[in-house]
Amino acid sequence: MKIAAVQMLSTPGLGHNLERAAALIAEAARAGAELVALPEYFCLMGHHDTDKLAHAEALGDGPIQRMLAEAARRHGVWLVGGTLPLAIAGCSDQAFNTTLVFGPDGARVARYDKIHLFRFDDGQRRYDEAATLRPGSTPAAFTLTDRRGARWRVGLSICYDLRFPELYRALGQGGEGPCDLILAPAAFTHTTGEAHWELLLRTRALENQCYLLAPAQGGLHENGRRTWGHSMAVDPWGERLSQRAEDGEGVVLADLDAARLSAVRTQLPALTHRRL
């Protein structure tokens, strides 16, 4: 199955971002992708952290969700909606940072609210997601059937989650077994991304013996924030399959190979050797 990570350079303009996301989804679909994943905050990178609250949508309604559902249906793809702000009933000063997944028929098939909220302060740059976001509490995964009839178990994570391996272990503890693919839409800062992005992605893939797809924000945004980019696909041995080296928009393609996945897990059955 061919998969695609969409890299973006999102702006404070919601309409503009939705138009660019739709165009990049179409580009990925034309290239043969059956699953397309957008980056964290694909719909909005505001001037202020609170800007996202004005665009928080109720689950099942709003222009962001309508665009995602329509694009998935139009192109017949599994569409991973990066993240968008979901409203919390009775709360106006916080939202969830949420990944929604839509099937080829446009129906919503999965939801994941980001559990681990980023905080960073090096004296020059300061980020504190907990000021405007409420953390989720439940890991999420779904199963898709590709056009050839093969089934793939897909786990969901978001950006800062990459630093918490226990989440990824939890994704493989259900009755469905380990994930075949894990998604990690992100908006890594340039500072942390330069130091740790590739290391974390390859580690999460190899220790869970699965494919990993990481669509990212990349470049200097209108709000002055600089994100690392380098959207990437990694195989179950921890090897890079594809990567975008440049800033700005683009589509990174990779192929999932069931035989490769099985071979890695058979030759080194580490997932069956766990004791804790």
Catalytic machinery residues? 40, 114, 159
Full 3-state SS string of the chain: CEEEEEEECCCCCHHHHHHHHHHHHHHHHHCCCCEEECCCCCCCCCCCHHHHHHHCECCCCCHHHHHHHHHHHHHCCEEECCCEEEEECCEEEEEEEEEEEECCCCCEEEEEECCCCCEEECCCCEEEHHHCECCCCCCCEEEEECCCCCEEEEEECCHHHHHCHHHHHHHCCCCCCCCCEEECCECCEHHHHHHHHHHHHHHHHHHHCCEEEECEEEEECCCCCEEECCCEEECCCCCEEEECCCCCCEEEEEECCHHHHHHHHHHCCHHHCCCC
Rounded Cα distance between 98 and 176, Å, is 23
